[in-house]
Amino acid sequence: MKDEVVLAQFEFGRNAILKEAAEVTEEIADIVPTGLSNSLRWQMGHVLLSTEQLLFYFSGESMEVEEGYNELFASGTRPADWNKDAPSVEQLHRQLKEQMTRIRSTFEGRLDEEIEKPFQAGALELHTIGELLLFVLFHESEHRGIMKVMKEELHS
């Protein structure tokens, strides 16, 4: 599969996340709907952080992660346990957009490149940068759906 097709699909998915994120205001960013454990701000930060970890770290590239993001947005964290200020919605939106550009400039022409150590995601074993990127796309699609439902809940 050509790099351009995979990168275009990633950008299509990321732009959908950016559209959802653009509709998040500071007033609703930290509300955790009943039955859930995370907020819209957490969803945005988690997508940003997990993409750095999955794609940049496992491909051997430098991660661009603000100090404290691991404690705020890693899997298993939740806003109820935060003991530091989270970044603004505007900052997270900007970082998600910048990350999308950085992904293309860093990985274009490299999607068939083998990663040093395979990444295990359940029964799935990923061996190339392109496979990591496709997994990131899957992961982001899950979180976009959650964001969409959360916003509908908060606006009802």
Helix (H, G, I), strand (E, B) or coil at 146: helix
Dihedral through CA 119, CA 61, CA 116, CA 67, nearest 10? -50
pTM of the complete model: 0.95
The model's pLDDT over 63-108, given as tens digits with 9 standing for 90+, comes to 999 999 999 999 999 999 999 999 999 999 999 999 999 999 999 9
Rounded CA-CA distance 139/61 in Å is 20
Give pLDDT < 50 ranges for the chain.
Answer: none
- The sign one gets for the Cα dihedral 107, 110, 111, 117 is negative
Task: Determine contact, residues 51/63, Cβ cutoff 8 Å.
Answer: no
The angle formed by the CA atoms of residues 26, 29 and 35, to the nearest 5 degrees, is 155
- Domains detected in the chain: 3-155 (1.20.120.450)
